[in-house]
Each structure stands twice: as structure tokens, then as C-alpha cells.
Amino acid sequence: MKPPISGIYVPHIVPYDATGKINEGELRSIINWLGEKGITGYYPNGSMGEFIRLSYEERKRVVKIVSEEANGKPILAGADGFTCAKISEALALLPSGVRRIFLAHSISSRNKMPALKQLVGALDELIIAGTSVQQIEVLSQLLEEIDLKLPCLLSLDSGLGREGARTIDELQRMKAVVDRSTSLNYRGLYTHEGFTYTSQPEVIEAQSRKTADLLRKAREELGGEGELWPGCSVTARFMAGESGVTGIRPGAYLLGDLSLTRCTGAMNWDDLAVAVVTTVIDKPEPGLALIDAGTKVFSSDRFPDLPLALPYNNENYALTRMSEEYGFLTGDDVDKLSIGEVILLVPTHICPVVNLIDQYSTRINGQLTTIPVTARGCV
């Protein structure tokens, strides 16, 4: 296994010429200038934003130019698209300019085919998931009915016990169905090592290596062909250094939560980018405070050995119980809270929390801005 990524990797801009094409000369100058400043490596098509408006071929061209000018410095190829679970989520992303999406979910419903066809028509590429023999057979038939042929990543269960092949024999049977299909093309293998969300930091690297080994061995059993796509915010920093890994699919680290900070150590507390703003509405007895946010805000999703939420300012109390409209705070510092006091709480798992709200507020250049959650409730 390669060592975890460390040092300074720079996500750089992509300059354009007057005709709207990539200014290759200026891009080469930027890469050389950065190299002279002593950076560790480059992060083309990264977080600067232009990549979502570049075609797939343009993104590949950017990486090629950077590799030609990098003088041996390492390159992280950057974001090449988005992963979504639901078709409606993917459709909500289209205004961003995204051109490539992987649907990592079991698509098997005829009533979703019109939306799927709409999505395919709006993208350069849509990759779809094959999660079991029966699901692939159903998916293949549905795609034939609407005259679509799509690349397919086969799911391999790496320990979560959700979708995906449990054995090599099952995986081989899944690939055989894809190979016979006139509406699917085999692209490779993917997994979601979500069991690591409850792992301690000292074991995550070994779990990442084991998962990558599983993917590599499975590919060999299928003839040695295909891409490998692990996917988890917890393991991403290790998977990026694994040989043979084609793409990684981190996501929740963008915002952060208790699982990523207090459990797995995937990010620091100071890097948290989101918290729930709630109000203390009552103190019915010593050692208990009630807030106006319950399961309709935090969801009921939780991980073992973690409270439902903790205060952002690190005071000694926690959200330990909820009903639909109420949250119950307990702990040594809870009696210091006042009725009417506004507090910030960091949830255990941020993903369902964001999906339960219509909008969130953030500061951009010092100004408070409200941003709608356009994929809220997408199913």
C-alpha cells in the first residue's frame, strides 16, 4: 500500500481564451509557477469549480497537460463527476453543470425510466449500478424497453451487509448477466465500506487496505478487467493511495459530523462546516433541558457509542433522547443553559439532517446567505 497522501496539493484554476476554450499555454505557466513555489503536488479538476463545466474530454486534457508539466510531482486527478443514490437527486444536480454521474443504487422500477432517460440525455455519461443477479436482470429489461445502453459497475459487499455480491461466484454470475445484456456494458466494480463509519482511527487504514485487496482480487477472478471504485468519506484518504483504485467517492467530509470527528478521526473538529441551530425552550427538572428540534430535524439515525448530537462549543452536555418535536439535553453543564438560549449542535450523521431541511444559512464574504436544499426529499 502506498503511504497516505500528505503535503501541499494545490487545486488550480483552468484559464480560458477569448473563444471559451482552455488556454493551454497559460495553464502550463500556472503549473510551472506552482512547482517553483515548492508545492508537493497538483490537484487538477479539483475544488476550484471549473471542472463541472468542462466536458469529459476537456477534463482529461487538463490532467494530461498537468502531467506533462509536473516534473515528476504527484498528481491527484480531481473530481470527475458526482455520485448520487436517486435519479431525482441527480436531476437536481444538473443546474450545477455536472456532466458525469454514477447512480450508486438499485434501479429496478419501470416508473423511474422516463426520469432516467431524461437524465441520460442531459449528461456526457451516466454510470449505473448492478447490485444482484435478479436486480441486473430486471434493470437490463427495463433499459431495453426504453432503448438505452449504459455502463454498469457491479456492487461487491465489503462488510456492510447491504447490496452487492457476497461471494465471487455470485459476482461472476452478475457479470455473466451483464455480458449477455444488450443494454449494459461492464465498467468495473464498486463497494461502499460504510461499516468503517463506526471504526476507531487506528484500524481504518487496515480496513481500507483489506477492502482494496478484496476489490483487486475480485477483479482478477473476473479476468483482470474493469475499474475499481471504493466509496466512503472515512477511507478516502487511504484509498487514494491504493494501487489499482480508479476513483474514490467521499462526500460527507465536506460538512462533517460526530462520526467523522469524534469516532473515526477522518477530520478535525475545527474543520466542521455545519451545525444545527436550535433553542432551549424549557427546563422541566434539574439536569434536563428541552430544545425545539427532535427527529424531524436530526432524524433517528445514530451510531453506537455516540450521542445524537454534541454542542459545537464543547460544553459538557449532549442530545441523548428525542421525540418528533423535542430534543432532550442531559449532562453536567445542562443546568447552565437558559430558556430562550440559542445553541449550536453537531449531529452524529449529517447526511439525513441536510435532507430534512428546506434551506440552510451560511456566511459568504461576511454576508449571511440562505441556500435552498434543492434535492430535499428526493426519492
Average confidence score pLDDT of the chain = 90
Same domain, 26 and 120: no
Q: How confident is the model at residue 56 (pLDDT cuts 50, 70, 90)?
A: low
For the chain, the C-alpha Rg in angstroms (whole number) is: 23
Q: What percent of the chain has pLDDT over 90?
A: 58
Q: Which three cell numbers stand for residue 22?
A: 482552455
Residue 65 located in a structural domain: yes
DSSP 79-100: ---EEESSHHHHHHHGGGT--E
Largest Cα span, the chain = 69
More confident position, 52 or 115: 115
Instruction: State yes or no: pLDDT of 38 exceeds 60.
Output: yes
Residue 261 located in a structural domain: no
CATH code for position 280: 2.40.37.20
Q: Provide the pLDDT for residue 4.
A: 53
Q: Which amino acid is at 252?
A: A
pTM: 0.80
Same domain, 92 and 235: yes
Best CA proximity match to 216, nearest among 229, 233, 207: 229
Same domain, 36 and 106: no
Query: Which region among 97-111, 152-166, 168-182 has the lowest average model confidence (pLDDT)?
Result: 97-111
pLDDT (average), residues 35-54: 78
Q: How confident is the model at residue 1 (pLDDT cuts 50, 70, 90)?
A: very low
Instruction: State yes or no: pLDDT of 365 exceeds 80.
Output: no
Same domain, 93 and 212: yes
Q: How many CB atoms lie within 10 A of CB 4?
A: 12
CB 329 within 8 A of CB 337: yes
Q: Provide the pLDDT for residue 5.
A: 62
Same domain, 38 and 138: no
Instruction: State yes or no: pLDDT of 309 exceeds 70.
Output: yes
Cα distance between residue 24 and residue 367, in whole Å: 36
Q: pLDDT by residue (tens digit) across 80-92? A: 678 999 999 999 9
The whole domain housing 131 covers 82-250
How far does Cα 217 stand from its chain's mean position? 24
User: CA dihedral in degrees (379, 49, 359, 82; nearest 10)?
Assistant: 10
pLDDT (average), residues 295-300: 92
Best CA proximity match to 104, nearest among 142, 78, 130: 130
Q: Provide the pLDDT for residue 51.
A: 66
Q: Provide the pLDDT for residue 271.
A: 87
pLDDT (average), residues 162-182: 97
Cα distance between residue 39 and residue 370, in whole Å: 36
pLDDT (average), residues 152-161: 97
Q: pLDDT by residue (tens digit) across 199-213? A: 888 899 999 999 999
Q: Provide the pLDDT for residue 97.
A: 77
Cα distance between residue 180 and residue 197, in whole Å: 37
Same domain, 238 and 125: yes
DSSP 352-372: HHHHT-SEEEEEETTEEEEEE
Q: Provide the pLDDT for residue 2.
A: 44
